[in-house]
Structure formats: C-alpha cells, structure tokens
C-alpha cells in the first residue's frame, strides 16, 4: 500500500505543476502569457506550423497534467508530459542547470517524475485501477519515443542552418 501512496503523491504533484503551467499558456492564468502570446513566441522562435507546436505543448502540459492527477490513461499522459518537458529543457538549456537562473532544473524534475510514473503505472489509487485500464509499460515507452521524435523535429527545425550567418556589427549600423 505504501507504493500506491508514493505514486499518488508523485502523480498529483507533477500533474498539478504541469496543469498550472499549461493553463498559464492556454488561458493566461497565474501570470502566464495565454494562447495568443505563446503562439507569437513560438512563431518568433521559428516553430512552423505554429498552431501545431502551440497545441502540442498545451496538450502535453494540460492533458498530461490532468492524466497524472487522476491517474487516468496514465501512459498517454506521462508520455505527453515527457514530450513537453524535453522541449522545455531544450529551451532552457542555454541558461544552465539551476531554475533560479532560468535553467532546466524544474522541467528536468517534472520529466523524471513523469518517466517514473510512466514506467511504474498509476498505482492502486487511480482511475486506471478503478476502471481496470492499466496498460503495460511498453505502451508508455512507445508513446514517449513518439513524443521524443516529435521533439527532435521541433528542435532541429528551429536551429539556424549552418550556412546562415548573422549580420556583422558593421552592417547592422
């Protein structure tokens, strides 16, 4: 029974954190940008089509967060959270590890919790257990792999091409 409680705590904490960040992006709640500003930011970073990438991050955070909180379709929610957090880590990578400096510490913690729940399952205190919808860990691994492939595409498409050069300071003046 202690494992069930441990999984519940991890699921709910990670899920609420993801849900909070997702609603910041979707609705502008809790001081977040809201959908329109998020879309503008993604467009400025080079994500095309911008609506797809905006929807994916919101789905990963809001959908993944709800799934983890309730322990319902947990492999799907955990994989969505993994995808969203890998992308978040990639955008925070250049600022180092610590969150106090804008680094990737926090999304890494959410990623680790999501992977742990994806592997272990939702546990006995969950809607998956109540409805008997527990799925094998292989389902999580397949979905997480798909999310990582989508992330890799997004990360690669927003990098400047090797042949692209930045205008020199002399030309900028």
Residue among 69, 17, 59, 13 nearest 35 (CA): 59
- Tokens for 155, please give them: 């990360």
- Tokens for 2, please give them: 């202690």
Per-residue confidence (pLDDT) for residue 104, from 0 to 100? 96
- Tokens for 73, please give them: 């379709």
Residue 95 DSSP one-character state: G
Q: How far is CA 74 from the centre of its chain?
A: 14
Residue 29 DSSP one-character state: G
Cβ proximity of 150 and 55 under 8 Å: no
Question: pLDDT band for position 164 (50/70/90)?
Answer: low
The dihedral built from the CA positions of residue 46, 159, 110 and 82, taken in this order, carries a sign that is positive
Question: pLDDT band for position 163 (50/70/90)?
Answer: low
Per-residue confidence (pLDDT) for residue 160, from 0 to 100? 66
- Tokens for 75, please give them: 């492999």
Per-residue confidence (pLDDT) for residue 168, from 0 to 100? 45
Residue among 135, 130, 124 nearest 75 (CA): 135
- Does position 146 have pLDDT exceeding 50, yes or no? yes
Q: Give Cβ neighbours of residue 2 (< 8 Å, ≥ 6 apart).
A: none
Mean pLDDT of the chain: 91
- Does position 169 have pLDDT exceeding 80, yes or no? no
Residue among 48, 53, 49 nearest 38 (CA): 53
pLDDT, one tens digit per residue, over 28-79 is 999 999 999 999 999 998 888 999 999 999 999 999 999 999 999 999 999 9
């Amino acid at each position: 029974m202690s494992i069930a409680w441990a999984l519940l705590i991890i699921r709910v904490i990670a899920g609420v954190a993801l849900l909070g960040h997702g609603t910041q992006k979707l609705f502008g709640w809790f001081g977040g940008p809201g959908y329109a500003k998020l879309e503008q930011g993604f467009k400025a970073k080079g994500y095309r089509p911008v609506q797809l990438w905006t929807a994916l991050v919101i789905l990963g955070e809001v959908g993944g967060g709800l799934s983890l909180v309730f322990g319902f379709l947990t492999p799907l929610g955990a994989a969505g959270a993994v995808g969203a957090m890998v992308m978040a880590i990639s955008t925070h990578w250049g600022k180092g590890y610590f969150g106090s400096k804008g680094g990737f510490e926090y999304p890494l913690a959410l990623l680790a919790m999501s992977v742990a729940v994806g592997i272990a399952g939702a546990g006995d205190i969950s809607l998956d257990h109540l409805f008997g919808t527990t799925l094998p860990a292989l389902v999580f691994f397949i979905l997480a792999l798909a999310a990582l492939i989508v992330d890799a595409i997004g990360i690669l498409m927003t990098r400047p091409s090797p042949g692209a050069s930045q205008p020199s300071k002399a030309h900028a003046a």
